[in-house]
Chain A
């Protein structure tokens, strides 16, 4: 199955700053997905990133707050902008794994905003 390298694994950031999270996949994939997992909660889809086009954002998420890049078929970044303590969450990227028929997830980025 696909292997995803996600970094950083964790960070503590000051409010008002921005953090960029990177995901590298070991194979070419059409779509990459970005999720947020707030403390004690389930995963919520932020956006779907296709190579060569703008990301598609879910209700409640906007590009100004969570800009996404997808420069090629193996890489994507998610930026959390102008952070506040409410942004403290785990952020995960995911890809569809055609070999396994499931979805593979990165190990997540645990973000704490102080």
Chain B
């Protein structure tokens, strides 16, 4: 069975500062990993995904994430936060079954 742990239910950063959202997973098979973003009153939008190959993946809106097998992590980063990045972010793992989501991290960006 697979599971996802997102450290920090709420992260607050200043505009222009580094964004780091943490995600650790467990999976009995090589996982596919995803980050989704949910803006208020909207559905989920795929930010980026890791399946195989390059461990550093780039997504939309300047976000990227690195798959580290030894650390079972898939942390999401963005060098410079923008006000429009304020949203809920979900990490998800696919390990032979439908997606399993973490509890989410709410990102606030302070002007």
Contact = CB atoms under 8 A, between A and B. Distances in A.
Interface of A: 6, 33, 41-45, 48, 92, 94, 100-108, 110
**Interface SS majority for chain B:** strand
Contact of B46 (A6, A33, A45, A104): A104
14 contacts: A33-B99, A42-B103, A42-B104, A43-B90, A44-B101, A45-B99, A101-B32, A102-B49, A105-B36, A105-B43, A105-B44, A106-B43, A107-B42, A108-B43
Contacts, number: 46
Nearest to B49: A102
B34 interface: yes
A48 B101 CA distance: 15
Interface residues of B, number: 21
B102 A42 contact: yes
A44 to B, nearest CB: 8
Contact of B34 (A41, A44, A45, A102): A102
Given A42-B103, A42-B104, A101 B98 contact: no
Contact of A103 (B34, B42, B102): B34
Nearest to A103: B99
